[in-house]
Amino acid sequence: MRPKIAVIQKIIVGSLLWFGVTMGPMAIASDVLPHWNESPSKAQIISFVTRVTDPASASFVPVSDRIAVFDNDGTLWSEQPLYVQLAFLIDRIKAQAPDHPEWQTTQPFKAALEGDLATLKHGGKESLLSLLAATHAGMTSDAFREMVCAWLATAKHPQTGLPYTAMVYQPMLSLLNYLRANGFRTYIVSGGGVEFMRAWAQDVYGIPPEQVIGTSLASEFVMRDGVPEVIRLPQVSFIDDRAGKPIAIDHHIGKRPVMAFGNSDGDLEMLQWSTAGSGPRFGLIVHHTDAVREVAYDRQSSIGRLDKALDMAQKKGWTVVDMKNDWATVFAPNKYTQPVLKDMFERRICTYRQGYHQSLG
Amino acid sequence: MRPKIAVIQKIIVGSLLWFGVTMGPMAIASDVLPHWNESPSKAQIISFVTRVTDPASASFVPVSDRIAVFDNDGTLWSEQPLYVQLAFLIDRIKAQAPDHPEWQTTQPFKAALEGDLATLKHGGKESLLSLLAATHAGMTSDAFREMVCAWLATAKHPQTGLPYTAMVYQPMLSLLNYLRANGFRTYIVSGGGVEFMRAWAQDVYGIPPEQVIGTSLASEFVMRDGVPEVIRLPQVSFIDDRAGKPIAIDHHIGKRPVMAFGNSDGDLEMLQWSTAGSGPRFGLIVHHTDAVREVAYDRQSSIGRLDKALDMAQKKGWTVVDMKNDWATVFAPNKYTQPVLKDMFERRICTYRQGYHQSLG
């Protein structure tokens, strides 16, 4: 399938990458899409963006309509071996367990405490909702984000030992920057909890809270000691997955996106709907083909299963990123992995949601 | 209460305004807030914006947090003698009546056909929802906006005979422009239907679809003749009024606004919650005191009743705009009232939601 030249390019780019890592991120920053190999995927992205931003092109799209939507888990950061929010949820249950001795013998809490993912999965949505109600509700969005930030500052990926904020795909960060530099507004549209993501999406991806769309809890307006607050309820109000994604985009943005990015069947409807609009449209699927640098999985996976969407990509001409061959880097050391800067960035994540950015960096 | 100097100012500003109208809008455009008299309200707005945009001020707010939320009916445009969307709804029922002979004898359709507002009001929410289901559902958001645009191009305000798009408050348009020029993002947060407003909010107020929050219908993702579409269902999914407003802001924007603007008790919770945040906050209520140029109403009105919020404004120090004395102009001829340009602007409203702005003006 792949021509020999790709192998040679890999060696060249691999060498450049080695220099890049050694010399720091600036070494390859002059490239249009750093961390991408010179692959058809990269060429398709650049060709599309060049066309829609050229006022002389018949495919020109004005800035006001340059909307790009991204799934999060498995598209912007790793979802293996488990969704990061599930790791958070389990750790929250563990942290609260001393106040709930009954959890030692009650499901699904017992399974969460034992890290028994199989039982949690078997319990289905009901299970997850009980855990969500116990850990995510009864507080303001700000207080919840505070909890998420505090957790992210210390939690480690179970296999790499890196902070989850370092488990982001470098080529996708480059892509976000490239699109924004070309007048696109970048949105997250994820099955994950909207407030879980808003806690760090600005700092990690440069995506502000109002451009994060996700699964959400109902909430209520109450006066607490004379202070008006919006409090999260233990009740899911919207599940932003599969057909929920185009519905949420229509509701929240009110425009059909020009570009859509996903990695699983959960993104199928979003990709279908976005690319079915009139005028130029672009769909892309991140295909997890790299067993060495990440995990190779698609049709048979229990997480982020990619089956129908992969077939549809062929049919519709969506770009399919071959992670193994198209990405020069997958993960890279970043600000969250640098001990000297760690405290500074922890503070930046955690002060973010308190209202005003502190000028820390 | 009001010093004599205000009377003199009124005469001077009135004269300037006369010249302004005669000479065209540019004549007073150099003013910071055109169409506002030199009142305490105007001074309070300018003082606040000056403080929060001054990097040397302790009250400085970074651009990313400059969020201003506006109620629509009665705050940005007239809600008298009836909500514009209700006029639209009644006209839609009339337009569809030939296909529904049963409506002649069935409530609430009969009342709508007869323009019998008292009966409609007596029927309450149930009534309105039947009418909404019959006229607002079963189509895409785009198709619905198309209907709204076509209606706006010909519908006239029942008392002034002006297009509804000319029944906007000129001082509030100035305020929107002034805030945006100072780095604020301006949002509508209204009890009105979100797609009804998105049809024209960009063209009339300069507010894009993604910054319009309102009451919404549920919708579903379907394949229609092989084309994926999001279709509106005859079922209200969220009522964006009263306590719903802060809940919707928390959900949609994820930030507590720095400035909030309303005109009725329906805006009370939004104003309370927005102004209760830490750091500098600004609340404003438009008080309809002008029986000559608009309608004087507040505590006893059946539309946009202003009672508790007026008392709360005193207590919390919110700015209360005295429409009669604070506004030099209320309504003014605009692009929608100019026959020569009418066709051009109709096309602009109506092409807007088709995906790409046409460069018409």
Could you write out the DSSP letters of every residue in A42-81? Answer: HHHHHHHHHHHT-TTSTT---GGG-EEEE--BTTTB---S
Mark out chain B residues that contact chain A at CB-CB < 8 A. Answer: 61-62, 64-65, 141, 194-195, 198, 202, 208-210, 212, 216, 219-221, 227-230, 243, 246-247, 250-256, 269, 272-273, 276-279, 354-357
CB crowding A249-259: b at 16 or more within 10 Å, else e: bbbbbbbbbbb
Residue with tokens 């408050």: B169
Contact B209 A278 (CB under 8 A): no
State how far the Cα of A223 lies from the Cα of A126, in Å rounded to an integer: 31
Inter-residue contact A79 to A191 (CB < 8 Å): no
State how far the Cα of B211 lies from the Cα of B72, in Å rounded to an integer: 12
CATH architecture of B36-78+163-352: 3-Layer(aba) Sandwich (3.40)
Task: Write down the ipTM of this complex.
Answer: 0.88
State how far the Cα of B264 lies from the Cα of B83, in Å rounded to an integer: 14
Inter-residue contact B288 to B263 (CB < 8 Å): yes
**Contact list, B255 vs chain A (CB under 8 Å):** 209-210, 355
A·B CB contacts under 8 A = 104
Binned at pLDDT 50, 70 and 90, residue B103 comes out as: very high
Q: B277 vs chain A: nearest CA distance in angstroms?
A: 8
Q: Can you say whether residue B206 is alpha, beta or left, with left for phi > 0 and alpha for psi between -120 and 50 degrees? A: left
Mean per-residue pLDDT, B202-219: 96
Q: Across all residues in chain B, what is the average pLDDT?
A: 87
pLDDT tens-digit series, residues B155-179: 999 999 999 999 999 999 999 999 9
State how far the Cα of B196 lies from the Cα of B194, in Å rounded to an integer: 6
pLDDT tens-digit series, residues B131-156: 988 999 999 999 999 899 889 988 99
Angle between the N-to-C axes of helices B308-316 and B268-275, in degrees from 0 to 180, rounded to the nearest 10: 20
Which residues of chain A are modeled with pLDDT < 50? 1-29, 352-361
Q: What is the pLDDT of residue B348?
A: 56
pLDDT exceeds cutoff 70 at B340: no
Quote the percentage of chain B above a pLDDT of 90: 74
Q: Per-domain residue ranges for chain B? A: 1-30, 36-78+163-352, 84-136
Q: A252 vs chain B: nearest CA distance in angstroms?
A: 6
Closest Cβ–Cβ partner in A61, A250, A356 for B141: A250
DSSP class per residue in B183-202: TPEEEEEEEEEHHHHHTTHH
pLDDT tens-digit series, residues B1-15: 344 444 444 444 444
Contact A210 B356 (CB under 8 A): no
Q: What is the pLDDT of residue A146?
A: 87
Q: What is the pLDDT of residue A300?
A: 85
Closest Cβ–Cβ partner in B227, B228, B279 for A269: B228
Count Cβ atoms within 10 A of the Cβ of residue B146 and give its class: 0-12 exposed, 13-18 middle, 19 or more buried.
middle
Contact A194 B251 (CB under 8 A): yes
Inter-residue contact A323 to A360 (CB < 8 Å): no
Q: What is the pLDDT of residue A301?
A: 81
**Contact list, A61 vs chain B (CB under 8 Å):** 356
Q: What is the pLDDT of residue B357?
A: 38
Q: How far from A235 is each of A138, A151, A187, CA to CA, in Å?
A: 11, 23, 25
Q: For residue B219, how far is the Cα from the chain centroid?
A: 24
Mean per-residue pLDDT, B343-350: 56
Topology of domain A31-78+165-352, CATH = Rossmann fold (3.40.50)
Q: Can you say whether residue A177 is alpha, beta or left, with left for phi > 0 and alpha for psi between -120 and 50 degrees? A: alpha
Binned at pLDDT 50, 70 and 90, residue B231 comes out as: very high
Inter-residue contact B60 to B344 (CB < 8 Å): no
pLDDT tens-digit series, residues A185-211: 999 999 999 999 999 999 899 999 999
Q: What is the pLDDT of residue B23?
A: 41
**Contact list, A252 vs chain B (CB under 8 Å):** 210, 252
